[in-house]
Amino acid sequence: MTRVHILTGPESSGKTTLASTLANYWSAQLIPEQARIYLEEKSIASPFQYQVTDILAIAKQHLAKEQAALQEQPEHLICDTDLLVLIIWSEVKYGSCDKWILEKFEQALGTTTRHYILCDWQIPWEADPLRENPADREELFRLYQAKLKNYGIDYTAVSGSNMQRFNQAQAAMVQN
């Protein structure tokens, strides 16, 4: 059975760096952050402001990538974020989340073996045109933590340097 390891947490908390490092270490397939891919593609043609409907499109894009990867039945699958990020992003930005996203997230929790790696905010913020929350990363971290606990989701919080985060995540992957 495939073990799905999801990197989650606030913006600029090292998710992509850690996801890539873990995928390389485990020789595992990596599903990159679909929000970034989607928004970068939309921004190429013209200045683009995303809407609530874009979050649903991103969710569908992520789910398709994840389902395709799971069909290959790898031992480990690393996801640089998943629907949880979109749920929190939507709730913070728009005050609610599309029911379809919530249903698919809950369905994934019940049908796959998932382990979340929650990256803390205590690393330097890196500015990026797609990032918008430099001042409230600790608050967002607490939202992720609360959401994971509310769903009863198994997770490991990682902190410190990139190497410390890798060591903590790698140890958790061995156990999960």
Q: Which domain holds residue 147?
A: 3-175
For residue 95, give the 3-state DSSP assignment: coil
**Per-residue pLDDT band at 101 (split at 50, 70, 90):** very high
Q: Which residues contact 117 (CB under 8 A, 6 or more apart)?
A: 5, 6, 7, 8, 18, 155, 156, 158, 169, 172
The count of structural domains within the chain is: 1
**Per-residue pLDDT band at 176 (split at 50, 70, 90):** confident
- Distance in angstroms (rounded) separating the CA atoms of residues 19 and 7: 6
**Per-residue pLDDT band at 45 (split at 50, 70, 90):** low
What's the rounded mean pLDDT across residues 168-173?
95
pLDDT at 164: 96
What's the rounded mean pLDDT across residues 99-115?
95
For residue 153, give the 3-state DSSP assignment: coil
Single pTM value for the model: 0.91
What's the rounded mean pLDDT across residues 6-31?
95
pLDDT at 123: 81
pLDDT at 33: 93
Whole-number average pLDDT of the chain:
91
Question: Is pLDDT at 85 greater than 60 in this prediction?
Answer: yes
Provide the CATH number for the domain around residue 69: 3.40.50.300
Provide the token pair at 88: 């929190």
The proportion of the chain whose per-residue pLDDT surpasses 70, expressed as a percent, equals 93
